[in-house]
Amino acid sequence: MSAPVIGVLAVQGGVREHLRVLERLGATAVEVRRTAHLEGLDGIVLPGGESTTMSTLLTVGGMFEPLRDALAAGLPAFGTCAGLIMLSREVLDTRPDARSLGALDIAVRRNAFGRQVASFETDLDVSGVDDPVHAVFIRAPWVERVGDDVEVLARVTDGPADGAVVAVRQGVVLGISFHPELTEDDRMHRYFLDIVAGTR
């Protein structure tokens, strides 16, 4: 079977790290900067970064509607941190002009864990993943509401945010609050590639 072609949205944020992980796992990883780059993708990763900046750049570049339409048509997607925010239906604590893609029936709160100085690391039990996943949170969002068709995959289980939802899945769309591309643990990327392959 040929390698899946996975795009990484490359308008802003941590693009190179995701490209490296995907390539190491055998995918053909490509940067997505223009609408034409959406053609032929088997899946797309929306990286961490700054969600309001991503929203603005997607809109100015004419990519917002084509990406939203591709997701609505069933393009598998994996959002990390700001990417989770971009995939959500509702964003709390954001600018009035910020837009999100509505691919996950969730409400997320930006910077829910606090600013940069409140960044932290912890081990998470993720549904469907053997052994805890080491998770790096940087100015991370959390999920405050999930729709009926959304599966909660992980919650933080310690500290003041005990119980906060930080990983969800709805169909072929996966969203997490943390940064797996910043660790040596590639199991969340493997999880997404399994979704793309139709084996999970």
Structure tokens at 172: 């072929």
24 is in an annotated binding site: no
Q: What residues contact 112, with CB distance under 8 A and at least 6 apart?
A: 93, 140, 141, 142, 144, 161, 164
As a whole number of angstroms, the distance between CA 71 and CA 30 comes to 17
Q: What residues contact 176, with CB distance under 8 A and at least 6 apart?
A: 79, 80, 81, 84, 135, 153, 154, 166, 167, 168, 188
> Catalytic annotation on 134?
no
Choice among 81, 90, 144, 151 that is catalytic: 81
51 is in an annotated binding site: yes
> Catalytic annotation on 144?
no
176 is in an annotated binding site: no
Task: Tally Cβ neighbours within 10 Å of residue 39.
Answer: 10
> Catalytic annotation on 179?
yes
110 is in an annotated binding site: yes
The residue type of 182 is L
Choice among 17, 37, 181, 189 that is catalytic: 181
115 is in an annotated binding site: no
Up-side HSE of residue 100: CA atoms within 13 Å toward CB?
27
As a whole number of angstroms, the distance between CA 69 and CA 145 comes to 23
187 is in an annotated binding site: no
Partners of 176 in beta bridges: 80, 167
Choice among 18, 37, 179, 189 that is catalytic: 179
The catalytic site residues sit at 81, 179, 181
Binding residues for L-glutamine: 49-51, 110, 138-139
Binding residues: 49-51, 110, 138-139
